[in-house]
Structure 1
């Protein structure tokens, strides 16, 4: 019995071969540039996929929450970094997990630094997150006063240990000139390393956005990279030039529930609660919530450009496909189609698990099977 016969409702499929190839390619790139690869596991959120990553020499990872760090701890990772401005209300949980697992956190203000100094029971390392233009979070790259205030507070404790500077150039998702952006990133981290390496000779610098890590070949003096989306990729990354559609490792299997042949539209069971609502714009200004692929026993087939079909609208449970003539000719009620996601991180989080092409359930931190 092939994996498709077991599917009755929206199911997130994962092609292990593609996923492994993505991990291997980024691991080889990091090695080629002398960088440590510590991928951000906010995309995969999976212990099993973590085991695949270890096959390519990856020994440490990042998470976006302490919950995810708890889920992945005890799995043989040398270090787990929580790549989110640390929430001081979770210090008791941090103390518990850091007892048996090497953990680092992100600090962006003196209040958090002081609370950690006062309340840590076990040693924890920290990065200072730097903002060099993204504007979401972090200490301004030129705010040496704030940087040094955080460092001075940390010196009061033997529990809170400075590890280095972390910079997520998230604006690479919407700024077309990635080389110029990365020059900004390199310059910022190199300046900080030069300024503070005398006092902290072991300090590290890390950057982490997938668009930049996928396309750039000049990382300057940066020590580590921590991209996340590259494990699966998605249509957004393809649009940015970081991958091809054939590199996308996940597809949402959705059943056809109705066909409107007058409008060349297909109604599927698959909506916002499955894909999230990230969207791309078509050339005519219409919305694209995901593109159709044809499922088969060995995975999926990407249609030729002239036969492309896509989700034009979604609601909570429903999706409407703007279908090509080629798709209309073969579509049947009850048939399964695959949807390549616009943003695989959000789709994976919404679905909370994966089905491999050999019919195995692959875990996810948010899944009902996950340890609570």
Structure 2
């Protein structure tokens, strides 16, 4: 089947680009001597996860208990919830059940959260990693406080395996190199704090897609041991605008039809319910058209995207175009399935459809 036979809009994955991204991601980790534990919240796909594992991933990173349940049910048995999960109510029972089925790590960033988690697990065999703030200022404790929190978690009855961070402040123009250095320094300081508290910080986990390809000078004893990139499996417009990748590494795009055209502008049938609505303050639009690099998505409504083409040619009504979403994780979570093609994402032979298995698994 050709993609022209499918009604728009839909999300399409170029299998060849995806395979190249997987191979390169695994190789980047190997070159740095890091375990590769990609974040599956991006793709939410059992099929993609199995491909990552086949390339050498040591396990998966996940954001929610619901996501972990989906992948555990598929037989993927080494999972890290990189989130300070508040283990109350039914979630406590779900976590305890997960810990009995898979090798499970869970993030903690407070003594209260550690106490709650210990009560929920009731001795089930899970490990915890202390989350530290390496500059993003979202969750996590200061690196200097990691040892004290680790000691509190141990006193609550938890097995502390190390520390982790998310260098999310890399999502800013020109910030990637400095943030990669922040990440390494924070992990090293936090690991030293755990060691001073008598806890071996054997896992020192970091990573983000903007910083994935940057290898700062590593401290000797407490260098990172693990990287957790997510977006780089597919790429997106934010990564392009941060100069982390080019359009040739964007494996996923939305295929849309031009439903209206006027001088300098076109309107597509893919709006926020297909592309997601994310737009960072520094982004130049709500998405990018890789075959029209001068174009910008300047406005979104639920089922329409307005594209400004500047001085470039405007596609005629009925034409199909590809749009790379700003934030691929949000776009994938809006789709029931991904259309998989070979031969290039714009014209091409449909070879499979992959369900978005963990779509909506947000609890």
Match of 1:289 in 2: 286
Secondary structure at 1:163's aligned position in 2? strand
Match of 2:317 in 1: 333
Q: Is the 8 A contact 1:166 1:207 kept in 2?
A: yes
Aligned residues between the structures: 347
Match of 1:315 in 2: 301
- What does residue range 163-202 of structure 1 map to in structure 2 within 5 Å? 163-174=161-172, 176-197=174-195, 199-201=198-200
The verdict on how the C-alpha distance between 1:13 and 1:327 changes in structure 2, with shifts beyond 3 A counting, is farther
- What does residue range 1-372 of structure 1 map to in structure 2 within 5 Å? 1-5=1-5, 7-89=6-88, 90-121=91-122, 122-143=124-145, 147-157=147-157, 160-174=158-172, 176-197=174-195, 199-201=198-200, 203-216=202-215, 218-220=217-219, 221-260=223-262, 263-279=263-279, 288-293=285-290, 302-303=291-292, 305=293, 308-323=294-309, 327-328=313-314, 331-357=315-341, 358-367=350-359
Distance 2:359 2:351 in 1: 17
Distance 2:153 2:298 in 1: 52
Secondary structure at 1:213's aligned position in 2? coil
Distance 1:119 1:278 in 2: 35
- Which consecutive unaligned segments of at least 5 residues does structure 2 have? 342-349
Q: Is the 8 A contact 1:12 1:251 kept in 2?
A: yes
- Which consecutive unaligned segments of at least 5 residues does structure 1 have? 294-301
Q: Is the 8 A contact 1:353 1:366 kept in 2?
A: no
What TM-score, normalized to structure 2? 0.88
Q: CA deviation at 1:74?
A: 3.8
The verdict on how the C-alpha distance between 1:287 and 1:186 changes in structure 2, with shifts beyond 3 A counting, is closer
Q: CA deviation at 1:359?
A: 4.1
The verdict on how the C-alpha distance between 1:217 and 1:75 changes in structure 2, with shifts beyond 3 A counting, is farther
Distance 1:213 1:140 in 2: 23
Q: CA deviation at 1:70?
A: 0.7
Q: CA deviation at 1:241?
A: 1.8
Q: CA deviation at 1:218?
A: 4.0
Provide the alpha-carbon RMSD of the alignment.
2.4
The verdict on how the C-alpha distance between 1:267 and 1:184 changes in structure 2, with shifts beyond 3 A counting, is closer
Q: Is the 8 A contact 1:85 1:106 kept in 2?
A: yes
Q: CA deviation at 1:151?
A: 2.5
Q: CA deviation at 1:290?
A: 1.5
Q: Is the 8 A contact 2:132 2:190 kept in 1?
A: no
Distance 2:351 2:321 in 1: 17
What TM-score, normalized to structure 1? 0.86
The verdict on how the C-alpha distance between 1:277 and 1:208 changes in structure 2, with shifts beyond 3 A counting, is same
Q: CA deviation at 1:364?
A: 1.2
Distance 1:335 1:189 in 2: 50
